[in-house]
A = this chain, B = another copy of it.
Amino acid sequence: MQNSDYHSPPPVEGVAGGGTGYGWNDASFKNARLLSRVVDVSRQPTSDLLHVWCMPSTATLGHQEPPRPLEQISLLVARNERESAQIALRPKVSWAGGGAAGNVQIHCSNLRSSSGHELETGNAVSLRRVVPILGVPDALVPLKSPTAQISLLPGETSALWLSITVPISQPPGLYEGEITITAVKADTDSGNGYESEFDKEEIKKVLQDFLAKAQNEEIKSAQDLGNGLEEICVGLRQLLQSPILSSTRGENGSMDVDEDWTTSLAVRIKLNVTVWDFVLPITPSLPAVFGISETVIEDRYGVEHGSDSWYSALDLHYKWLLQYRISPYFCRWGDNMRVLTYTCPWPAHHPKAEEYYSDPRLAAYAVPYSPVLTSSYTAKESIRRELEILKTKQHWKKAYFYLWDEPLSLEQYDVIHSMAREIKSIAPDARVLTTYYCGPNDGSHAPGSFEALVKVPEFLRPHTQIYCTSEWVLGGREDLVKDITGELQPENNEEWWTYVCMGPSDPYPNWHLGMRGAQHRAVMWRVWKEGGTGFLYWGVNCYEKALAPAAEIRFRRGLPPGDGVLYYPGEVFTPISTEPVASARLERLLSGLQDYEYLKLYADQYGRNAALSLMEKTGLYNGPERYTHDHGPIDTLRSEIYRSCKPG
């Protein structure tokens, strides 16, 4: 273009233009390299293409989370413990099509100690993708191990959940490894998926041409035939070397990623895991009993009650949940708040019952009291047979009966009494658990008053041993705990447990979806400080009714989102998977239960008051309204306990 006589204005950068000029530059930009017009992932360092940074497991990494500098991940983990951290990824630029920014390949090495011991990726070390539920990052969908590929969206931060689960037999020591993140070309245009089809069509066309040529060859002589054959060989060789059949990843056309290429371009995250010589007790110090709805399983998986596949489905849920230091019970609701609860779907004489009840990871189990649903003679006979077996067992001390949820009237109290009487006529030392958030509405105390709540043991005694009150009642008043526990008779084996359900809501600790990560973890800090000897949670899989395993997950209307749902059906994220998908909240709950063991270890050695003072000093937890929002105090407390309690 000949515009030499047109004096085009020089490029001047406005500084006073407010938002209209480039009024500012952020720090991360100053070091950015100039990218070429088209991004070539096989040459460009991944750090030019995306931000990678690490965050603690209590962070909520939404799509809008802004980047931070990359630092290494250092975790302190006991034996038989799991600790987690998060890795955030956010594209700086797009290098793929179909609406995605691009794909990254994630490789996680084994962690190795100087003495050659290993924490193996895929077992002890796992990576899951954090998937939002109702817009909140929560579902942890497993990634392939040791190498996975995920797609990133433009303008969105994605998060990975790294967990180190240290086996009980793992030798203590410092384990080191790394995670490498490498931007790769997407294999296909995942937005429409047509690309691989076009390739196939192209290959077919080439082969059809060969075939036509070979068939039309007029057979004249050996010479001609030889030429024909030779021509096809040349063609085949050309096809084999053509871009159509070349691999899109790596450079050598093989399935293996070129190690050098990965190493030189990848973002590398150093992993330092200190395994210390404390073994978290296999049997949790705090019985945490959590309900699994059998109705939900029956509907979603289409399994008929009592069928073989029903037993398998329940077994799968039970075993999966057990790894979270939780003592599961199955539940089904009758009319009023009558509830059938049982930890083992098999009868007491069945070999599976022994397997369930004597599992050292199980801290408490619910014994089914089937007359709660039908008071037939058969039902009563069945419970008698069950009890006659169970009461003789070593594990009987773990047994409890949970017969009614939150009784509200003296009439309902009477029903509990009559059921409990029947149970105790067979097994006098049976423990009955009753949940409550208020006193009877027709008792001698003002209905709804705290006084009425405190006096509940008067009405339930002697047939309830485990008085399980709602944390909602306390709100921020942890001083009320002593009023409640003051009414109990520990000398008569009366215990105080707590539960959360719907309430308490923010700012108190609970597992609602919208709460902060430290708030999820704090539920168990609260339990430790308040001194209850057990904990109950009503439901882990109580999504709305659905009739297919892969059906959309919906929370029940009227409940705070996340309440009653601590894991998700795996089929929703990967139809062929039957393994449940944990929520980040469940992992934080596990962390809380592990913190409980740390606090107990410290208290056993230095006294409960020292442990309480450590909680306070580190800023971890001072009360249900005053606990840390940040991860810092968690690490400080754990390090301090490690320092003070490690042998030698």
> CA separation between A271 and B524, bound complex, in Å?
56
**Residue of B14, B141, B149, B197 touching A194 (CB-CB under 8 A):** B149
Q: Which of A523-578 contact B (CB under 8 A)?
A: 538-539, 542, 544-545, 547-553, 556-559, 563-564, 571-576
**Residue of B8, B151, B573 touching A306 (CB-CB under 8 A):** B8
Answer yes or no: A129 CB below 8 A from chain B CBs.
yes
Q: Which residues of B contact A550 (CB under 8 A)?
A: 35, 39, 93-95
Q: Can you name the residue of chain B whose Cβ is closest to the Cβ of A345?
A: B8
Q: Mark A134-173, 1 if CB is under 8 A from B, else 0.
A: 1100000100100011110111100000000000000000
**Residue of B11, B99, B346 touching A131 (CB-CB under 8 A):** B99
Number of copies: 2
Min distance, Cβ A105 to any Cβ of chain B, angstroms: 9
Q: Which residues of B contact A14 (CB under 8 A)?
A: 295, 332-335, 339
Most B CB within 10 A of own CB, among A22, A347, A381, A576: A22
Q: Which of A253-295 contact B (CB under 8 A)?
A: 255, 295
Answer yes or no: A63 CB below 8 A from chain B CBs.
yes
Answer yes or no: A599 CB below 8 A from chain B CBs.
no
Q: Which residues of B contact A144 (CB under 8 A)?
A: 192, 194
Q: Can you name the residue of chain B whose Cβ is closest to the Cβ of A236?
A: B211
Min distance, Cβ A249 to any Cβ of chain B, angstroms: 7
Q: Can you name the residue of chain B whose Cβ is closest to the Cβ of A574?
A: B97
Listed stretches A227-235, A438-446, A628-636; interface member: A227-235
Min distance, Cβ A198 to any Cβ of chain B, angstroms: 8
Answer yes or no: A239 CB below 8 A from chain B CBs.
yes
Answer yes or no: A193 CB below 8 A from chain B CBs.
yes
Q: How many residues of A are counted as interface, with CB atoms below 8 angstroms from the partner's CB atoms?
A: 161
Answer yes or no: A308 CB below 8 A from chain B CBs.
yes
CB pair B239 A333 closer than 8 Å = no
CB pair A103 B333 closer than 8 Å = no
Min distance, Cβ A5 to any Cβ of chain B, angstroms: 7
Min distance, Cβ A344 to any Cβ of chain B, angstroms: 11
> CA separation between A197 and B3, bound complex, in Å?
51
> CA separation between A548 and B39, bound complex, in Å?
9
Listed stretches A52-60, A202-210, A470-478; interface member: A202-210
Answer yes or no: A196 CB below 8 A from chain B CBs.
yes
Min distance, Cβ A381 to any Cβ of chain B, angstroms: 8
Q: Mark A7-42, 1 if CB is under 8 A from B, else 0.
A: 111111111111111111110010010111111000
Q: Which residues of B contact A134 (CB under 8 A)?
A: 64, 155
Answer yes or no: A191 CB below 8 A from chain B CBs.
yes
**Residue of B36, B236, B556 touching A214 (CB-CB under 8 A):** B236
Q: Can you name the residue of chain B whose Cβ is closest to the Cβ of A184?
A: B193
Min distance, Cβ A245 to any Cβ of chain B, angstroms: 5
> CA separation between A327 and B306, bound complex, in Å?
73
CB pair A211 B193 closer than 8 Å = no
Answer yes or no: A80 CB below 8 A from chain B CBs.
no
CB pair A551 B305 closer than 8 Å = no
**Residue of B94, B193, B306 touching A572 (CB-CB under 8 A):** B94
> CA separation between A556 and B199, bound complex, in Å?
42
Q: Which 9 interchain pairs have the tightest Cβ spacing?
A: A14-B333, A187-B193, A225-B225, A35-B548, A6-B347, A17-B333, A196-B196, A19-B559, A94-B550
Known: A3-B346, A20-B538. 6 other contacts (CB 8 A): A9-B370, A14-B333, A35-B547, A62-B135, A197-B248, A207-B240
28 example contacts (A-B, Cβ-Cβ < 8 A) are as follows A3-B347, A10-B374, A11-B295, A11-B305, A13-B295, A16-B337, A18-B558, A20-B339, A20-B405, A20-B542, A22-B544, A24-B556, A25-B545, A34-B547, A35-B548, A35-B551, A37-B549, A94-B573, A94-B575, A99-B574, A101-B572, A131-B153, A132-B155, A151-B190, A187-B188, A199-B200, A219-B226, A232-B232
